[in-house]
Structure 1
Amino acid sequence: MPVVNRIADYAADMTAWRRHLHTIPELGFDCPKTAAYIAERLREFGVDEVHEGIAQTGIVAIVQGSAPGPTIGLRADFDALPITEATGLEYASTHDGKMHACGHDGHTTMLLGAARYLAETRNFAGRVALIFQPAEEEGGGAGVMVQDGLMDRFDIGQVYALHNAPGFDEGAFYTTPGPLMAAVDSFHVHVQGVGGHGAMPHDTRDPVMAACGIATAFQTIVSRNNYALDDLVISVTQIHAGTVNNVIPDTAYLNGTIRTFDPKVQAMVKERMAAIVAGQAASYGVTAELEYETGYPATVNDPDKTAFAAEVARDVAGAGRVVAEAGREMGAEDFAYMLQERPGAYLFLGQGDGAGLHHPKYDFNDEIAPVGASFFARVVERAQPLAGTEA
């Protein structure tokens, strides 16, 4: 089955929804305009229940099927990024310094399209819980929704999500069973030295040299402390120190990201970082403090649900346009929290050529919205079929 005909019929409406959402990007949990627009559309579609205010601005809408049965969850994120848009589009952001640069406006549109179709047809048993989530980019909105009782409150038994993928064939799907995306942690190192004249370094305790030593030594964790076949990334992304060319400053600061899959590797990194910071500080005669922040866990797809989702994707996109063993990557995603609670799968949907995610010229490809909406709708119909309609 290709794109569902009924969903294709309102592709123009979906484009209009998406482009409106693109004009009003909001950050984190503070997404009142976005949430209000989503709730308004859901009520227009005639869903049975609209539950607002979950994780501040999150929404769960319930659609009842035509027979009793379990509840399946479908999730879309809707927060934006603190980026100034540079697309020049007529529907560009109207909120200065904020932009839908990751396609969450498109994710929301795909789930709205599925919501409209499912509310019209109800060609499934049980219920579907349509989860519209804030704060994916920062804040772990999925985790907060779970903490607010999402899974138990709505009796969700399995859960699925999609993310657009620039640079991959338009309308094609890819995923993998088991670990798909990495856990993400961050570190901050504050170095306190003794500043002075740049021409008299012997009178100082140079925090810049200590910061450079710490940054270099951190890379030995990957090359000398970690088993080579265990995926690990440590990236120092910021070093800040000093103001002018002839003054050695008092302080320096380092920041960066850590990506892992194995909790044992994660624990090793934290331990080694603490030892390196202490040892380097002592060797340079400074003091240094490490702040290690644990972030989103690894995104781990349930193997059986992933195989099922891939089969549904083949129904929509065609057998040759689904890669079900694509391998894992070092990006991160807070849908991981939902997958820790319930079995399910996370898939990527190609959107063709164009600027990459988190780029100021990125724009979601509206042509793939009916594809994603059809996938969501077919997941429900295939997972919870009415008697006599099994595929």
Structure 2
Amino acid sequence: MLNDDVYAHIADLEKTHEEMTAIRQHLHAHPELSHEEEETARFVADKLRSWGYEVTTGIGGHGVVGRLREGSGTKSLALRADMDALPIQEETGLPYASKTVGKAHSCGHDGHTTVLLAAAEYLARTRRFSGTLNLIFQPAEEASGNSGAQRMIADGLFQRFPADAVFGLHNHPGLAEGHFMIRPGPMMAASDTATITILGKGGHASRPHLAIDPIVAACSLVVSLQTVVSRSIDPTQTAVVTVGAIHGGDAANVIPETAMIRLSIRSFDAGIRNLLEERIRTLAFSVAEGHGAEAIVDYVRGTPVVSNSEAEAEFIKTIASELVGPEKVGVCPLIPGSEDFAYMLEKLPGAFIRLGNGIESAGLHNPKYNFSDANIPVGAALWSRLAERFLIDS
């Protein structure tokens, strides 16, 4: 039988709630964009050092790792939080709103960082674990194609700080505070992009028969792309193909030489991901050819699927259920958004969990969004208890 008294509870983390709320609001007021998190990283590193952690900075840019060893346990654990903000003008009107024009913590990374700092302080003070604890504070989660997770891994993150498993957390607007969601296997989508350039033949708008109109071809392609998911993907599976931009020409009386469309492509399965690329390329080439034009496709594979390993997803679900009760731990729906924690899950077993930010919370990446400070002790207790349960003498 589990001796519940020897593991962290939410009440244990409430003792530093006021201090940690001040930290979260400080970070919120001083946002830094991807690859610019110099002051945030320095702030985090100073806090970790003050609590007795061995701190390494400059990993993959502004990445910080705090390591704490205790006892004779041989297992090692990695917990990750992201630190970067977004290029958004905040509209919350809060007294601690962003002090930097055009930059805001509109995704809650200030909260994620604070939750892990709160757990770091508690675990350093109580030291009720046996093994090696690695706390990863990652920059540039929002940087597509050159993300902080990719850069930290390329900089030897898991060779320098080996771990048996890695866990991450993200807040979830629309879910009640103090509630969690988790699922084994795929949970958040792979995110790819494509830029398709249609090469035609420019001419006078009054003489279209002497030109090859790339705008007409591009518009036809936009319509054809709507069939990729509806007619090529198993209806029991999930995928998204969205045309987010279309550009061509500058004047009403000129048929341009080129037109361009940009796509966002989301999927939850490697086979479907490959099929989507194949169908998009085929349609681009064939539709362009049908109009006498030519297509150039620049297809970029982005963030992979966030896929939770079975054992680790069940483990963190158990920890969350012990803290808040099983009735407050639900099955996470498939989320078409992406998250670069996926790169870490490709290297290690682990899991990513969602923590409710409130039913009435503004959505992520919204200028009115704000992380709920009520979540700090909840998330911190999750990390603390997970570390205590994972890192044992073995």
Both proteins in one fold, TM over 0.5: yes
Contact 2:73 2:392 in 1 (8 A): no
- 1:138-149 to 2 correspondence within 5 Å? 138=143, 139-149=146-156
Q: Which moved more, 1:356-365 or 1:258-267?
A: 258-267
Percent identity reads 43
Query: Take 2:259 and 2:101, find their aligned partners in 1: how far apart are those partners?
Result: 31
- 1:96-107 to 2 correspondence within 5 Å? 96-107=101-112
Instruction: Find the counterpart in structure 2 of residue 73 from structure 1.
Output: 78
Q: Does 1:152 align with 2:159?
A: yes
Query: Take 1:19 and 1:84, find their aligned partners in 2: how far apart are those partners?
Result: 17
Instruction: Find the counterpart in structure 1 of residue 229 from structure 2.
Output: 222
Q: Does 1:23 align with 2:29?
A: yes
Instruction: Find the counterpart in structure 2 of residue 328 from structure 1.
Output: 334
For the residue of structure 2 that corresponds to 1:315, the secondary structure is helix
Query: Take 1:9 and 1:242, find their aligned partners in 2: how far apart are those partners?
Result: 62
Contact 2:74 2:393 in 1 (8 A): no
- 1:56-95 to 2 correspondence within 5 Å? 56-95=61-100
Q: Which moved more, 1:249-258 or 1:344-353?
A: 249-258
Q: CA deviation at 1:63?
A: 1.3
Instruction: Find the counterpart in structure 1 of residue 301 from structure 2.
Output: 294
- 1:367-382 to 2 correspondence within 5 Å? 367-382=374-389
Q: Does 1:123 align with 2:154?
A: no
Instruction: Find the counterpart in structure 2 of residue 55 from structure 1.
Output: 60
Query: Take 2:259 and 2:50, find their aligned partners in 1: how far apart are those partners?
Result: 55
Letter in 2 for 1:102: C
Query: Take 2:289 and 2:131, find their aligned partners in 1: how far apart are those partners?
Result: 63
For the residue of structure 2 that corresponds to 1:156, the secondary structure is coil
Instruction: Find the counterpart in structure 2 of residue 345 from structure 1.
Output: 351
Contact 2:61 2:148 in 1 (8 A): no
Query: Take 1:279 and 1:43, find their aligned partners in 2: how far apart are those partners?
Result: 60
Q: CA deviation at 1:82?
A: 1.4
Instruction: Find the counterpart in structure 2 of residue 360 from structure 1.
Output: 367
Q: CA deviation at 1:3?
A: 4.2
Picking from 3, 14, 18, the partner of 1:8 is: 14
Instruction: Find the counterpart in structure 1 of residue 208 from structure 2.
Output: 201
Q: CA deviation at 1:235?
A: 0.8
TM-score by length of 2: 0.93
Q: Does 1:45 align with 2:31?
A: no
Q: Which moved more, 1:161-170 or 1:261-270?
A: 261-270
TM-score by length of 1: 0.94
Contact 2:284 2:295 in 1 (8 A): yes
Q: CA deviation at 1:202?
A: 2.5
Picking from 162, 166, 171, the partner of 2:173 is: 166
Contact 1:68 1:125 in 2 (8 A): yes
Q: CA deviation at 1:163?
A: 0.3
Letter in 1 for 2:116: L
Instruction: Find the counterpart in structure 2 of residue 313 from structure 1.
Output: 320
Contact 1:189 1:255 in 2 (8 A): yes
Q: CA deviation at 1:386?
A: 5.7
Query: Take 2:393 and 2:277, find their aligned partners in 1: how far apart are those partners?
Result: 51
Q: Deviations over 1:289-341 (max 9, x none)?
A: 11000011111111111111011001221221011x33422221111111111
For the residue of structure 2 that corresponds to 1:236, the secondary structure is strand
Query: Take 1:192 and 1:176, find their aligned partners in 2: how far apart are those partners?
Result: 45
Contact 2:12 2:381 in 1 (8 A): no
RMSD over equivalenced CA pairs, Å: 1.7
Q: Which runs of 5+ in 1 are unaligned?
A: none
Query: Take 2:108 and 2:242, find their aligned partners in 1: how far apart are those partners?
Result: 25
Picking from 266, 275, 284, the partner of 1:268 is: 275
Instruction: Find the counterpart in structure 1 of residue 264 from structure 2.
Output: 257
Query: Take 1:183 and 1:326, find their aligned partners in 2: how far apart are those partners?
Result: 16
Query: Take 1:28 and 1:222, find their aligned partners in 2: how far apart are those partners?
Result: 32
Q: CA deviation at 1:247?
A: 3.4
Letter in 1 for 2:170: H
Instruction: Find the counterpart in structure 1 of residue 186 from structure 2.
Output: 179
